[in-house]
């Protein structure tokens, strides 16, 4: 029996969704609130791989996903490796190791549930914002359950469903993708400057960890188009992508069509 079984289940498709569906769900949720998007993005594309590790895990430990929200896109990045090889410290982006960075015309915010800072474009601190780390979430849920009032909830269950949908879209793009050398991936996303910048940042990170991506290539998934009404993929590659929307259940462990 694996020593870390109670956590390692995240890294297998039968039981988990990888980091994007684990801690990533919290970051994607917060970022979606910030940009005011109530529904799943129309399109998602993922570049990912499980690299630099000698284990039996299946889900990516390195991942970039681009959600094409307008007017501001949402990008989620997974860093399962350290800042560089033989260093215990994790990677960081614009002053934060875990959380979100919201870029605006006059500056940016870096932080998360535990609070954060607003900076100007010269990276000078402007204002600090405290956070509670989400400590009241469980208490609020219990109060709502006891009171039997949906109105008592801080957020409707639909919010969690939409965020979970985005995480699944990211993984599905990866799972129907194919391994490609970096030059081919760069060419495929050349028209997207934001995604290109994220990919270059990812390559720098992998190089710092001495990952040979010729031996451990990354996978680029297709830009999948999603219909938020039917909650199905449409257009090119949709036949393959929709195979992952619902699993083949084994009786009696079945999720009914209507819950």
Tens of each residue's pLDDT in the chain, 259 residues: 467 777 888 899 988 999 999 989 999 999 999 999 999 999 999 999 999 998 889 999 999 999 999 999 999 999 999 988 877 788 888 878 888 999 999 999 999 878 899 999 999 999 999 887 777 888 898 999 999 988 898 888 899 999 999 999 999 999 999 999 999 999 999 999 999 999 999 999 999 999 999 999 999 999 999 999 999 999 999 999 999 998 888 889 888 887 7
Give residue 226's Cα distance to chain centre: 16
Place of tokens 């990170």: 205
Q: How many CB atoms lie within 10 A of CB 249?
A: 10
* pLDDT given at position 7: 81
Domain that holds residue 109: 5-244
Q: Is 233 within the bounds of a domain? A: yes
Measured between alpha carbons, how far is residue 245 from residues 121, 175, 221, 238 in Å?
41, 12, 16, 10
> Is the residue at 56 inside a domain?
yes
Question: How far is residue 48's CA from residue 76's CA, in Å, rounded to a whole number?
Answer: 11
Say if 251 falls within a structural domain. Answer: no
State the DSSP code for 91: P
Would residue 139 count as lying in a domain?
A: yes
Instruction: Indicate the number of domains in the chain.
Output: 1
| Locus of tokens 């040979």 | 212
193 inside domain: yes
Q: What pLDDT does 5 receive?
A: 72
- CATH number of domain containing 104: 3.30.360
| pLDDT reported for residue 2 | 65
Is 161 contained in some domain?
yes
Both tokens of 247, joined, read 């699993």
Q: Where are the alpha helices (DSSP H) in the chain?
A: 5-8, 23-34, 137-147, 157-175, 182-188, 193-208, 238-241
Q: Is position 249 within any domain?
A: no
Q: Is residue 136 part of a domain?
A: yes
**Interacting residues of 136 by C-beta distance below 8 A, sequence separation 6+:** 154
Q: Compute the distance between CA of residue 202 and CA of residue 119 in angstroms, rounded to an integer.
A: 24
């Amino acid at each position: 029996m694996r020593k870390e079984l109670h956590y390692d289940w995240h890294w297998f498709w039968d039981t988990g969704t990888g980091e994007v569906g684990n801690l990533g769900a919290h970051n994607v949720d917060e970022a979606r609130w910030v940009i005011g998007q109530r529904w799943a993005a129309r399109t998602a594309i993922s570049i990912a791989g499980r690299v630099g590790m000698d284990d039996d895990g299946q889900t990516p430990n390195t991942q970039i996903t681009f959600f094409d929200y307008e007017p501001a896109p949402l990008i989620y990045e997974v860093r399962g490796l350290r800042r560089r090889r033989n260093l215990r410290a994790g990677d960081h982006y614009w002053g934060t190791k875990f959380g979100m960075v919201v870029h605006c015309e006059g500056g940016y915010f870096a932080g998360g549930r535990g609070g954060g800072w607003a900076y100007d474009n010269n990276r000078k601190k402007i204002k600090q914002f405290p956070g509670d780390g989400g400590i009241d979430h469980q208490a609020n849920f219990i109060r709502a359950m006891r009171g039997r009032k949906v109105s008592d909830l801080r957020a409707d269950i639909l919010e969690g469903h939409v965020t979970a949908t985005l995480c699944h879209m990211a993984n599905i793009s990866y799972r129907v993708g194919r391994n490609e050398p970096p030059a081919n991936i760069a060419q495929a996303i050349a028209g997207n400057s934001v995604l290109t910048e994220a990919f270059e940042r990812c390559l720098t990170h992998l190089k710092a960890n001495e990952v040979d991506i010729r031996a451990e290539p990354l996978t680029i998934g297709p830009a999948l188009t999603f219909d938020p009404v039917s909650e199905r993929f449409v257009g090119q590659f949709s036949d393959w992508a929709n195979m992952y929307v619902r699993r083949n259940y084994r009786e009696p462990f079945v999720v009914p069509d209507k819950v």
